């Protein structure tokens, strides 16, 4: 026995001393080659194991480098073709390193798994490699603010997964490429949402073929180029557009009349061209808040009366002949303000007297902030003296940093001004939390949140980009004696190795004794044992659509289920916010003891819920059945619940059009659960707090599980699923009190109550009054607004025409009929609301950011995060991929 122990110790010692590096050898050699040609690499880039020793800015999965994020690191040098050897690389962000220069290597096209290529505000030059068009997984391409020359590669049209294309602020020339019979072009990018090509030297006409009705573009930014010809009428086919910038070119002729069809556009810039003809009729653009047509040659015709009907519209007509006519208000013909003296105020403290180079934060703490410029490309306001805008932006920034658990104490915004391009520019300072300077991880994380558009500013600021400064005061980088440092490492290694050997010995003996006992217990108590067994031998389980998380993973992602990440609670238990290693936000529902099910029942639940995939239903990403815990992991929906928005808690104002779209989205989600989920699901607790709003205010139905098959007495078969939740007072189907059964029509009744909430802004039962009874009592179809004026929510926009209000009220009241047989199905409700939107002159098949053909549009690649989407199903044996970026 003693000899065996001795042999064991010797073998263990050899293994400890010869433990191989974690990092794949090809990946290490590629990073070493970059390190050799770059100056100012992070000090942690030492040794031969970037994954094992955690080089700053490097993330690995299974020994392979999958992400490089080195924003604002002060790197100097070029990008060599060695980068192509990182065959598993998915994210490359080298933004805000202005000393990175030279051409991009064509070999970058060999990174076939790359999803995000972000090189904002460096000094790269030369042509954009054609080979970028051969990156099949690329979703985010941001090369803006460099010195690229030559033409836009037509090969970019091959990037059929691309959502974000930003080539602005370079020196690109030539025509905008469109496809021919033999070459691709940008017109093929039908899934792309952003064309940002401003501040280049592009010339020629805007090709009519560039735009088509099948596109989902929301931003077309072509400002400050050398474009000629007319505005193509095909632009009016892209109904999803929200921001259009064609200013500072040489476009001529009249504005196409079908531009009026762009009912989702909020900002449109046509200034500084040579446009002629009468002022366009834009009466159909109900959401338009900023229109700049200054410095053109529009005819001096009668002033369009529709200008005054859009009270929130800022219109600029400076230097047009129409401004010379009498009776034209100065409001439209005066030069707007260009700067403000705003600076973030101190938070009830006295500014500190700081040492050299330190700056006092709004919380009066001396520190070295991370600095840069925020540039907003299409703000919807011109009054720069309204400080409310900036305080809202500050809160939005801090909320984003907190959501991502970044070490930020406060932010300072200062000196808002409009530059020559009418961009709104603000100085930004980000102050560290808990110390006077950031470490490298903090800076690269903040830089990535701003460079890949994870931060979503308030909509009135429009699209933005950030130009970060190099950060030179990193924490914990004081260099000591090399000799003493090495001695310490040796002593530590010896001591650590000895302890490790003892632990290995004890653990091995204990594990051997417990092995069979543990295996037997697992088989008896864990219904997921077969899945886990398959995973351990590399097999793929049959179940797709959800991931099996361990307890340790979810504890790590939620910061040990910390109080700061506790975002709600209910009958099932608490809900925690979490952040995956990819940056994707998740919501973790952790069951409390009294609400747990048996293992087999819980497994059945997961199998059922994992089949639900629809853009208007909150997606189940995974689950945890570990250490006696039952947890469900859902996508995180950032803008809270409809109830919170209606109550004013979120600061989101829902006008009439937005409320119609929220109602349609929620109806589509619920109709999908009833009619197309497999098996169909009855929600049983529809209410405004269970309808969540994503970053574009699209509605998502939540809390439809846990669920169980209905028995024969309930439905006569087992094809429908109903949740265990028993409903909420005020939303409950009256028939339930007699039958003690909830059906699809019970959900319809609850949805009708939600529709009345959308109308009134009131809770179902408020101050002893029941909203259904209040509406029915006041209703008089012969009177204006059905005699509901005093009940309607004032923020709905009572000073505007509420198109379709009567039809909406009629549908809501059909839903809350006393007898279930008199209520419509949710499919019928969807069709009714679609008709209402059409009567209101709106496109029911387009929300504020994307197009959905019908309520049965099962989502594939849904947004799981404001700017990130992932696969619609995950194998249990697989891990989460590095996030694919979907800017909106």
Residues forming the active site? 685
Report CA dihedral (214, 219, 225, 229) to the nearest 10 degrees. Answer: 40
Backbone angles phi, psi at 785, to 5 degrees: 55, 30
Q: How far apart are CA 150 and CA 156, in angstroms?
A: 14
Q: How far apart are CA 655 and CA 648, in angstroms?
A: 13
Q: What tokens were used for 264? A: 């989702």
Q: What tokens were used for 34? A: 């970059």
Sheet strands (E) in 152-236: 164-166, 171-174, 194-196, 201-205, 219-221, 226-228
Distance between first and last Cα of the chain: 67
**Residues 47, 49, 54: CA angle, nearest 5 degrees:** 95
Q: How far apart are CA 390 and CA 289, in angstroms?
A: 18
Q: How far apart are CA 723 and CA 659, in angstroms?
A: 27
Which distant-in-sequence residues (6+ apart) come within 8 Å of 711 by Cβ?
718
Cis? peptide before 679, omega within 30° of 0: yes
Contacts of the segment 387-395: beta carbons below 8 A, 24+ positions apart: 387/342, 389/458, 389/460, 389/461, 390/342, 390/344, 390/416, 390/426, 392/458, 392/651, 393/426, 393/457, 393/458, 393/461, 394/344
The b/e string for 584-597 (b: 16+ C-beta within 10 A; e otherwise) is bbbbbbbbeeeebe
Selection from 203, 234, 230, 229 nearest residue 217 by Cα = 234
Q: How far apart are CA 330 and CA 316, in angstroms?
A: 10
Rg (CA), the chain: 30
Q: How far apart are CA 69 and CA 83, in angstroms?
A: 14
Element (H, E) at 661: helix 656-675
Residue 762 counted as an annotated binding residue: no
DSSP-derived 3-state class of residue 468: strand
In SS3 terms, 600-656 reads as HHHHHHHHHHCCCCCCCECCEEEEEEECCEEEEEEECCCCCEHHHHHHCCCCCCCCH
DSSP per position, 349-404: S----PPTT-EE-TTS-EE--EEEEEEESS-S---TT-THHHHHHHHHHHHHHHHT
In 479-536, which residue ranges form alpha helices assigned H by DSSP? 482-525, 529-536
Neighbours of 308 (CB within 10 A): 13
DSSP per position, 329-349: -HHHHSPPP-B---BPPPSSS
Q: Are 629 and 591 in contact (CB under 8 A)?
A: yes
| Dihedral class, residue 77 (left if φ above 0, else alpha if ψ from -120 to 50, else beta) | left
> Starting from the edge strand earliest in sequence, which strands make up the sheet with 721-723, in order?
681-682, 721-723, 707-709
Backbone angles phi, psi at 471, to 5 degrees: -100, 125
Cis? peptide before 55, omega within 30° of 0: no
Task: List binding-site positions for ATP.
Answer: 589
Positions at the binding site: 589
């Amino acid at each position: 026995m003693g000899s065996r122990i001795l042999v064991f110790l010797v073998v263990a010692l050899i293994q400890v001393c010869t433990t191989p590096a974690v990092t794949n050898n090809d990946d290490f050699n590629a990073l070493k080659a970059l390190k050799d040609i770059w100056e100012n690499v992070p000090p942690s880039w030492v040794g031969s194991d970037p994954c094992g020793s955690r080089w700053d800015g490097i993330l690995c999965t299974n020994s392979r480098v999958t992400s490089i994020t080195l924003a604002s690191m002060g790197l100097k040098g070029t990008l060599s073709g060695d980068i192509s050897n990182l065959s598993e690389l998915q994210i490359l962000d080298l933004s805000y390193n202005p000393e990175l220069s030279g051409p991009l290597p064509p070999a970058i096209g060999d990174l076939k798994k790359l999803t995000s290529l972000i090189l904002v505000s460096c000094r790269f030059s030369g042509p954009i490699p054609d080979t970028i068009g051969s990156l099949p997984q690329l979703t985010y391409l941001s090369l803006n603010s460099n010195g690229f020359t030559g033409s836009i590669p037509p090969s970019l049209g091959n990037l059929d997964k691309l959502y974000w294309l930003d080539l602005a602020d370079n020196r690109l020339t030539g025509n905008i490429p469109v496809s021919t019979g033999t070459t691709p072009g940008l017109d093929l990018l039908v899934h792309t949402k952003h064309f940002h090509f401003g501040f280049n030297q592009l010339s020629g006409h805007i090709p009519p073929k560039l735009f088509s009705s099948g596109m989902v573009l929301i931003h077309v930014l072509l400002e400050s180029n050398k474009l000629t010809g007319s505005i193509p009428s095909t632009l009016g086919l892209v109904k999803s557009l929200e921001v259009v910038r064609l200013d500072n070119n040489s476009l001529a002729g009249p504005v196409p009349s079908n531009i009026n069809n762009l009912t989702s556009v909020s900002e449109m810039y046509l200034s500084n061209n040579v446009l002629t003809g009468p002022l366009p009729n834009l009466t159909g653009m109900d959401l338009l808040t900023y229109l700049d047509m200054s410095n053109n040659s529009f005819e001096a015709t009668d002033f369009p009366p529709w200008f005054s009907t859009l009270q929130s519209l800022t219109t600029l007509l400076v230097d047009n002949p129409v401004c010379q006519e009498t009776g034209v208000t100065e409001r439209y013909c005066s030069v707007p303000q260009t700067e403000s003296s705003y600076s973030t105020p101190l938070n009830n403290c006295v500014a500190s007297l700081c040492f050299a180079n330190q700056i006092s934060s709004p919380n009066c703490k001396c520190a070295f902030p991370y600095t840069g410029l925020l540039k907003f490309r299409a703000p919807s306001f011109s009054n720069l003296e309204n400080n409310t805008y900036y305080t809202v932006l500050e809160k939005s920034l801090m909320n984003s940093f907190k959501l991502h658990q970044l070490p930020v104490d406060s932010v300072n915004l200062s000196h808002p001004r409009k530059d020559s391009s009418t961009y709104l520019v603000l100085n930004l300072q980000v102050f560290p939390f808990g110390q006077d300077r950031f470490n490298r991880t903090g800076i690269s994380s903040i830089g990535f949140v701003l460079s890949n558009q994870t931060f979503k500013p308030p909509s009135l600021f429009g699209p933005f980009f950030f130009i970060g400064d190099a950060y030179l005061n990193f924490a914990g980088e004081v260099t000591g004696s090399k000799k003493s440092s090495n001695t310490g490492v040796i002593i530590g290694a010896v001591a650590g190795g000895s302890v490790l050997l003892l632990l290995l010995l004890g653990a091995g003996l204990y594990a051997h004794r417990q092995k069979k006992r543990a295996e037997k217990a697992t088989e008896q108590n864990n219904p997921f044992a077969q899945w886990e067994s398959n995973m351990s031998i590399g097999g793929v389980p049959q179940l797709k659509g959800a991931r099996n998380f361990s307890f340790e993973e979810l504890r790590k992602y939620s910061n040990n289920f910390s109080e700061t990440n506790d975002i709600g609670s209910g009958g099932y238990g608490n809900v925690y916010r979490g952040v995956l290693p990819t940056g994707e936000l998740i919501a973790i529902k952790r069951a409390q003891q009294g609400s747990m099910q048996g293992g087999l029942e819980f497994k059945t639940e997961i199998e059922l819920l994992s089949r639900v995939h629809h853009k208007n239903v909150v997606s189940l990403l995974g689950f945890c059945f570990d250490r006696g815990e039952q947890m469900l992991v859902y996508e995180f929906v950032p803008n809270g619940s409809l109830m919170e928005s209606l109550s004013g808690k979120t600061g989101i104002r829902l006008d009439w059009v937005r409320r119609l779209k929220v109602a349609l989205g929620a109806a589509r989600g619920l109709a999908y659960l009833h009619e197309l989920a497999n098996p169909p699901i009855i929600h049983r607790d529809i209410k405004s707090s269970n309808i969540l709003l994503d970053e574009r205010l699209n509605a998502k139905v939540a809390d439809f599980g846990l669920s169980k098959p209905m028995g024969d007495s309930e439905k006569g078969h087992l094809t429908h699923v109903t949740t265990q939740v028993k409903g909420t007072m005020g939303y409950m189907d009256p028939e339930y009190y007699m039958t003690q059964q909830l059906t699809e029509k019970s959900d319809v009744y609850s949805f009708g109550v939600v529709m009345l909430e959308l109308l009134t802004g009131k809770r179902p039962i408020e101050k002893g009054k029941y909203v259904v009874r209040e509406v029915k009592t006041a209703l008089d179809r012969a009177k204006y607004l059905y005699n509901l004026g005093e009940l309607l929510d004032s923020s709905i926009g009572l000073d505007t025409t509420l198109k379709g209000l009567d039809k909406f009220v009629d549908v809501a009241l059909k839903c809350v009929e006393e007898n279930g047989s008199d209520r419509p199905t949710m499919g019928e409700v969807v069709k009714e609301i679609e008709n209402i939107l059409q009567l209101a002159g709106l496109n029911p098949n387009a929300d504020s950011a994307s197009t959905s053909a019908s309520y049965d549009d099962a989502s594939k690649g849904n947004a799981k995060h404001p700017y990130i989407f992932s696969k619609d199903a995950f194998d249990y044996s697989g891990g989460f991929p590095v996030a694919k970026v979907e800017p909106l």
